[in-house]
Amino acid sequence: MIYNIDHVAIAVHDMDEAIDHHRRLYGAEPMWREDVEEQGVDEAMIPVGGSFVQLLAPLADDTPVGRFLAKHGEGLHHIAYAVPDIDAALDELRSQGARLIDETARTGGRGAKIAFVHPATFAGTLIELVELPDE
């Protein structure tokens, strides 16, 4: 069902500082950065091999990432699995009793179809499914 780790997301308070710090430590630069208003985040995608490290900074305190930071502080936020067919993946997960945050896919960054799977489903881990648009 999954063919790649699309990205691993890290929640940060200050995006400019985090990008600069990650560059100095690991020599890696974001390929792009965008505000995803629907999710209330500023996201930066740093390519690493065939995947990305995604930095997430909240656009406001009262957003999912804002609340995560208030509760946990900065740190690992979720893993995103690339899937070929997100609707089929959601059907399969539903049939296995998964608890879904998004019952149907919605549009995320890069014009991808995305859906989140609740951390109660597997090992306290927030999972995002990503179906990338055809090029």
Q: Rule CB under 8 A: which residues touch a second copy?
A: 1-5, 8, 10-12, 18, 21-22, 24-28, 48-51, 53, 55, 72-79, 81-82, 92-93, 96, 98, 119, 121-125
Closest alpha carbon to 90 in 124, 64, 118: 118
Neighbours of 85 (CB within 10 A): 13
State yes or no: is 103 an active-site residue: no
Residue 131 sits at φ, ψ, to 5 deg, of -110, 110
Whether residue 43 lies in the annotated active site: yes
In angstroms, what is the C-alpha Rg of the chain?
Answer: 15
For this structure, is 38 an active site residue? no
Instruction: Match 């305190």 to its residue by tokens.
Output: 61
Nearer to a second copy, 26 or 38 (CB): 26
- CA–CA separation, 21 vs 31, rounded Å? 16
Smallest separation (angstroms) from a second copy to the CB of 72: 8
Choose the catalytic residue: 7, 22, 39, 77.
7
Q: 126: helix, coil or strand? A: coil
Minimum CB separation of residue 23 from a second copy in Å reads 10
Q: Is 128 a catalytic residue?
A: yes
Identify whether 54 is a catalytic site residue: yes
Question: Residue 121 CB, nearest distance to a second copy (Å)?
Answer: 7
Q: Closer CB to a second copy, residue 12 or residue 41?
A: 12
Rounded CA-CA distance 102/114 in Å is 9
Show which residues are catalytic: 7, 43, 54, 78, 128
